[in-house]
Homo-oligomer: A and B are copies of this chain.
Amino acid sequence: MQTLTDEILSQTIRIRPKESHKGTYGRVCLVGGNDHFGGAILMATEASVYSGAGLNTTLTDPSNFVSLHARMPEAMVADFTSQAELTELVAAANTVVIGPGLGTTTQSLHVLQTVFNTVAHNQTLIVDGSAITLVADKSLQLPDAQLIFTPHQMEWQRLSGIKIADQTDEANEKVRRELGGTVVLKSHQTKIYAPNGSYLNTAGTPAQATGGMGDTLAGMIGGFTAQFADQTNAVLAAVYAHSAIADELAEHQYVVLPTQIIHQLPQFMHDHQA
């Protein structure tokens, strides 16, 4: 297991070519936010936008449209209960993030199934939060896409069947191979199990231990995978940046809010591009 350092940032965050346009930096769909957990998809969306993804569309419950626009006019919105909109927008995306605030209702399951039925092999799909719970509880068949799972330990227990106490690297890696893709196992020291090896994130601070951090990380992984070619590096850089920014803020703050991390992204990424 390799420990992440800030080298992963300079290996990943590329100086942007002069001749480029928003299409160069990817199209992200963020799917989630029912009528109770709207904040989760707002944070995921903001994280993707501030990461630099070229185009961001949030598929959510219409009750979240106004709060999203009030915070972030840069994102577009669509109704995730519309099968037609969901299918069209997901099919056109480079990266899809599903799960933040999605919930576990019948409607949530329907949205998730539609996304799974729509994504294709060349698309990156980040499966987060309640989407992981739904996959586990409903034994859903995973789609053929570039899968990235972002469970915390209890969600990983649900998905992998491995109890928290038994979540050894070997056991985790075995299930990852069966699932395919990459697993970001979140805890106070997040581990990333990727096709090319496993990684330990020792950055981060207990000041981050507050609701919304996972939603923010999911959005950042969305933004990074949409922009940067090497998908594993993109995941690793997002995980590391998320913690490293929190570490910087925690030098002056007792608690670090997710939206405060998000707002630091443009400057942090600038200082670590190469």
Contact = CB atoms under 8 A, between A and B. Distances in A.
A246 B206 CA distance: 27
Interface in A217-255: 250, 252-255
B55 A211 contact: yes
A211 B49 CA distance: 9
Nearest to A209: B22
Nearest to A41: B73
A199 interface: no
A163 interface: no
B253 A270 contact: yes
B270 A73 contact: no
Given A39-B74, A66-B67, A73-B42, A16 B210 contact: no
A152 B42 CA distance: 29
Interface stretch (A109-117, A120-128, A132-140, A256-264): A256-264
Nearest to A17: B206
A187 B19 CA distance: 9
Nearest to A44: B73
A81 to B, nearest CB: 14
A266 interface: yes
A28 B226 CA distance: 36
Contacts of A210: 22, 25, 49, 52-55, 74
Nearest to A27: B211
Nearest to A208: B22
Contacts of A72: 39
B36 A209 contact: no
A213 interface: yes
A43 interface: yes
B252 A37 contact: no
B74 A258 contact: yes
Nearest to A55: B211
Given A64-B69, A74-B43, A267-B252, A20 B212 contact: no
Interface of A: 13, 16-22, 24-25, 35-40, 42-43, 46, 49-56, 63-67, 69-78, 152, 187-188, 205-207, 209-213, 250, 252-259, 265-270, 273
9 contacts: A13-B254, A22-B209, A36-B76, A38-B77, A39-B75, A50-B255, A56-B211, A64-B69, A74-B210
Q: List 4 A-B pairs, minimum CB-CB distance, nearest first.
A: A39-B73, A254-B269, A52-B255, A16-B206
